[in-house]
Every structure is written in structure tokens, then in C-alpha cells.
Amino acid sequence: MDPNQHGPSRSGGHVVLALFALAMGGFAIGTTEFGTMGLVPYFAPSLHISVPDAGHVISAYALGVVVGAPILAVAAARLSRRTVLIGLMVSFAVANGLSAFASDYHWMLFFRFLSGLPHGAYFGVAALVASSLVPPERRAQAISRVLLGLTIATIFGVPAANLIGQLVGWRWAFALVAVLALTTAVLVYALVPADKPAKHINPLHELSVLKHRQVWLALGMGAVGFGGMFAVYTYLASTLMDVTHASAAVVPIMLAVFGVGLTVGNLTSAWFADKALMPTVAGVLVWTAAALALYPFAMHSLWPMAIVVFLVGGGGGLATPLQARLMEVAENAQTLAAALNHSAFNTANALGPWLAGMAIGAGFGWQSAGWVGCALTLGGLAIWAVSALEERRTVNATT
């Protein structure tokens, strides 16, 4: 066992409290990551940009995650994991606070990029801490508890941010995230067990994970396959108001419906992943592709739209099994691998809105986001097939 890990011998109460503190960080991150998408109709006119251009603000955050996750994970490899988590949350709070004061489009892009930098490293390190607190057969479920903060944010935090955006302005929504992040830093200090800096670790050794083909394939599943969900979610608020003709008051409710689907998908996929990891990944991708294919046909009526939005949200269950998969194939480079999972998902967060925005901007209508999303998810499933086939060949060759 990694001497920097705490082992599964701690009492259940201590583990629950530690996971709660870690999940609070996920709640703060989820509120800003998904909440910004729901705020697009409000900050776009304020910054004098179109809705498709506002999607670039989402992409800037995602780019920050992609860049920050590997750099910060490698840089922090020798530090105490608790210290790293606290530092990441403080910097996350500062960047989101700055987003609230963005004076124009370009400053907004920059501050959202800064906000994304700590995201992947936080989830990566938090996943390692969570998995170290429980037996190996419950690893995926422990990781899912950290991500539960993110999914619950889509039920409560994101609708609250959207409501704040409607009532008092979108800037206050980012201020809320800054407060949540600072709260997380305090909780992590108080509830997460202290650990010793891993001075024996060579940060450059973490880069060895990039030599493994299965690691790249797992990252590809997330980067491409998860893009489908983001292609739809980014423009959900605008679609509800422009196509479904729902009132602005319905938008937070529909965002919460998505969040319920995301939470159910996360918990369900974690349970299945501890039983059969790779089949669970494939199952979630198939589910998501089917839901996205239904999306263009459901958007003209509120109740069918609510059902499909719930189903699309269930596709968010891909995060936990892919996190476990990366930790499985990364061998001794756990920190970087865990962080790269969120680089992959935020590559998807950049790719999905960008491609869907291009389709919408080209005149194919809001429904084109569903078709773009379905194609991306099927692309992720194709990468899964390559990974599964290669793994089977490797097993056959060694038996």
C-alpha cells in the first residue's frame, strides 16, 4: 500500500465525515461548472456576446481543467494530499470571485480559465484520498461519494445559481461559488485525516502513466464520449425558452431534473462498476447515446423534455467507472492518472459545446445539439470497443 494513504482501518464515522468534506468541494465545483451553462442566457447579453459565443466561456473553463490537472498533479506529487486539497480550494475561491467582477468578454474568458485550473487536480487527489479510506472492493463507491457532491450540486447548487442569476444578477452566482470553496477548505482541514508529504515520490515518475495505451484509451472514452452530454446541457436553458417555450421559472426546475438523473446515474454506475467495471462503462455510453437520440424529438413539449433530460443526466454516471478504470490501468502513477480523468471530461466539456455551437450557429437549430451529442457518445463507445478488444488480446496472450 502507498504509505501516503491512510488505509481502510478508520472508523466509519471518520470516513463519512472525510467523504463529506471532499464532497463539499465537488459541490462547489459542480455549482460553477454546470451552473455557468445555465447562466449563459444572462451573462451573454451583459457581456454583449451571442449565446454561441458565450459557449466559449464554458470552453475556457474546460481548457483550464485540461491544462491544470496534469501540471498541478505532477507539481503536488510530493506534498501532503490534505494540504494540496486546501490550496486548490482557496485558489478556486479566488478565481471564481474574480469571475464575479469580469468587466468584459475577454476578462471573463481569462477568469474562467483560471477557475478551471484547480478542478481536475482537486477531484484527482480527492479520489485517491477517498479510495484509501475504504477496502478495495468499495473503491468505486467511495469515489462516487466524492462525485456525489458534484451531482447534488446539479440538483440544488445549479438551480440556485440560475435563480440568483435571474433575481439579483449572474455575478452573485460566482460569488456564491467562492464562498462554497472557502467553506470546503475549512472542512477539509477539520475533517480529512492529516497525511505526511510523500517525499519518496519522484514527480516525473507520474509522467510514466502516459506510456500506457490503456490509459490513453480510457481518457479517450471520457474526452469523446462525455462530450455528448455537454453538447446538450450547455444550451439546455436557451432551448427550453426558445423551442419548448417554457418560462424562465421552469429552467431551474429542469436543471434540477437533470441533476437528479446525474445523481442516480452516479450512484448506480458506481455499484455496477465494483461488480463489472468495463461492461458498466459500455452500458452508460449506450444509455447516453439513446437518450441523446431522443432529445431532438422531445424538445417541443415540456413533459417529454423532462423525461429525456433526466435520462441524459443519467449518462453522467460515466465519471465514476472511468475514474476507477484509470486508477486500475495507471499502475504506480495514481495521482496524475486520477487528475487526467477530469482533463478528459473537460476536454469533452470544451468539445461538446463547441461542436454543438457550430451546428446551431450554422443554422441547423437547437435540435442539432442532440445529434452532435449522440455522435460524440457513439465515438466514445467505439473507443471502448478498441480498449476492450486490446485487453482481451493481452489476457489471451498471457494465458
Could you tell me if residue 3 is inside a domain? no
Range 83-93 average pLDDT: 96
- Model confidence at 82, pLDDT cuts 50, 70, 90, reads very high
* φ, ψ of residue 7 in degrees (nearest 5): 80, 165
Nearest to 32 by CA among 158, 216, 167: 158
Look at residue 201 in the predicted model and tell me its pLDDT. Answer: 65
Residue 5 is given by DSSP the state: S
Look at residue 8 in the predicted model and tell me its pLDDT. Answer: 44
Is the distance from CB of 130 to CB of 77 less than 8 angstroms?
no
Domain count, the chain: 1
Could you tell me if residue 182 is inside a domain? yes
CA separation (Å) from 242 to 86, 162, 236, 237?
42, 17, 10, 9
Look at residue 116 in the predicted model and tell me its pLDDT. Answer: 92
pLDDT at 332 over 70: no
Name the residue range of residue 200's domain. Answer: 12-397
Could you tell me if residue 164 is inside a domain? yes
Nearest to 1 by CA among 214, 195, 207, 270: 195
Look at residue 59 in the predicted model and tell me its pLDDT. Answer: 80
Could you tell me if residue 5 is inside a domain? no
Could you tell me if residue 7 is inside a domain? no
Q: Mean pLDDT lowest for which of 40-54, 80-94, 307-321?
A: 40-54
pLDDT at 230 over 60: yes
Higher pLDDT, 204 or 246: 246
- Model confidence at 356, pLDDT cuts 50, 70, 90, reads very high
Give the C-alpha separation, 67 to 116, whole Å: 9
196: helix, strand or coil: coil
pTM for this predicted structure = 0.78
Give the C-alpha separation, 320 to 142, whole Å: 9
Range 53-62 average pLDDT: 82
Could you tell me if residue 280 is inside a domain? yes
Q: Mean pLDDT lowest for which of 91-95, 283-287, 317-321?
A: 317-321
Query: What CATH number is attached to the domain comprising 180?
Result: 1.20.1250.20
Could you tell me if residue 393 is inside a domain? yes
Nearest to 78 by CA among 206, 249, 164, 180: 206
Look at residue 224 in the predicted model and tell me its pLDDT. Answer: 95
3-state DSSP percent of the chain in helix, strand and coil, to 5: 85, 0, 15
Condensed to tens digits (0 to 9), the pLDDT of residues 248-297 reads 888 888 888 998 998 899 889 988 988 889 999 999 999 999 999 999 99
Look at residue 11 in the predicted model and tell me its pLDDT. Answer: 57
Could you tell me if residue 327 is inside a domain? yes
